[in-house]
Chain A
């Protein structure tokens, strides 16, 4: 996507008009089910009439953890969580911002982070959800 670094889930992240990131998923034209990540078939009605939908903005943190183990080259500790959006969309991903402010049910917004490096030392980016700043 952007030069000099790659997104971990390249196919699912786009740059929006404001320069931020949005996530790309699928919406079923038959039953309206939305999914992240994208899919060619609807798991609810099995229709193959999936079209692209773009997820952006704010969601609600369902739950989270701060992980102290995990992938070599990735941030440690790394906060991870599930975030709920409208229309029954739930997305798992990394969290950023003030980790002390994390709590289930707070609002978080879609953003991006450097999540670590790959085996070749290349910087890896990923979408992330930002906890609100505390001041």
Chain B
């Protein structure tokens, strides 16, 4: 990056079901909270990027208008589950380039307007026409992984148990009660081997992140957090065979992110990863280099990814506890890591966390492992 970029403020609207509120009403409180957190005047925001997966046109204007923040360049971003973190990627690079000293990224989503069920996918897509839904895709990956590496359903279920335990301590999470291994395994089957409690709940929510050049960051924030890597990838298209036990888009993005940051997986103190389904978290342990290929089940079993373990993953409770308002998720992961690096997380605080990573990936379309993946590495 051309010049250093720091995060000076974060905010989020607790994830949950807010059917009575418009998307704008869901999201503006997150923006205002981030402004207050940063100690920045709204007129100092030079530009904004707004991510939403399914929130419709001009989401940035709809959210920022009622706060009197429009007039500045606003760019609306759609990148499926990575929309919010893609917005951040754009804001970070705009500040790094010198175009703006202070910029904002936000993510917002209202899935309750679709009723229940699996998230809507592109109807023209070949695989979607043939019956694809997201739980089926993740379940097929899990099934192949079981076949090749000897994993059992209970290994995946342990991820839900861990995440829900962490979510108890997060006021922004949708699910705030613990679940037992038996409850997870015996909940309703959704897509074999994944049961209901291994699928993230959908929901509504928003998150906002304010970035500034590192040179001016100290003017605003008592504890700026430095962005030491901001990577985005669109994955590789193939109509042929692929190894579905390896999330290639994450492996490649992580490689680039570690290189950009000048750190390795062994330097990461805390991680927020895209656990849309329990099995995915196991895959991402491996893809992010927290353990070797096929060793993810041992990592969850050993407790290494619990708070207090060697590499705590999803102390926020992850998507499995927080819920997954698609466009907000990537930005909300950054909110959590910033709070962790500031030491503001109370009962779910990862002790001594200095470097954290966020990872948002998704998008179910034919020919791709995932459509998008965005990784940020942050340092206190």
Contact = CB atoms under 8 A, between A and B. Distances in A.
Contacts of A8: 129-130
Contacts of B118: 69-70
Given A68-B188, A69-B190, A80 B136 contact: yes
A69 B199 CA distance: 12
Contact of B192 (A39, A65, A103): A65
A53 interface: no
Contact of B191 (A33, A37, A65): A65
Contacts of B136: 65, 67, 70, 80
B162 interface: no
Max chain B CB contacts within 10 Å: which of A71, A92, A94?
A: A92
B261 interface: no
B129 A36 contact: no
Contacts of B189: 66, 68
Contact of B131 (A74, A84, A88): A74
14 contacts: A63-B140, A65-B135, A65-B191, A65-B194, A67-B136, A69-B190, A80-B132, A88-B241, A90-B239, A92-B127, A92-B132, A93-B130, A105-B147, A115-B131
B133 interface: yes
A47 B191 CA distance: 39
Interface of B: 117-118, 126-127, 129-133, 135-136, 139-141, 143-144, 147, 188-194, 237-242, 244, 366-367
Nearest to B147: A104
Nearest to A66: B192
Given A64-B143, A69-B117, A126-B131, 7 more contacts: A8-B130, A43-B367, A65-B191, A67-B192, A80-B131, A82-B140, A88-B240
A62 B129 contact: no
Contacts of A105: 147
Contact of A62 (B144, B190, B194, B366): B144
Given A43-B239, A70-B131, A65 B244 contact: no
A35 B238 CA distance: 9
A94 B131 contact: yes
Nearest to B118: A69
Given A9-B130, A94-B130, A126-B130, A69 B240 contact: no
Given A69-B190, A70-B118, A64 B126 contact: no
Interface in A79-96: 80-82, 84, 88-90, 92-94
Contacts of A126: 130-131
Contact of A65 (B117, B126, B140): B140
Interface of A: 8-9, 33-37, 39, 43, 62-71, 74, 78, 80-82, 84, 88-90, 92-94, 103-105, 115, 126
B131 A78 contact: yes
A78 B139 CA distance: 13
Nearest to A104: B147
A80 B140 contact: yes
Nearest to B140: A63
A9 B129 contact: yes
Contacts of A64: 140, 143
B126 A37 contact: yes
B132 A43 contact: no
A55 B304 CA distance: 47
A84 B242 CA distance: 10
A71 B131 CA distance: 7
B144 A104 contact: yes
A34 B239 CA distance: 8
Please give me the 5 A-B residue pairs with the lowest Cβ-Cβ distance, nearest first: A65-B139, A88-B240, A63-B144, A35-B239, A63-B140
Given A9-B130, A104-B147, A62 B237 contact: no
B244 A92 contact: no
B129 A63 contact: no
B191 A63 contact: no
Given A8-B130, A9-B130, A43 B238 contact: yes
Contacts of B133: 67, 69-71
Nearest to A12: B126
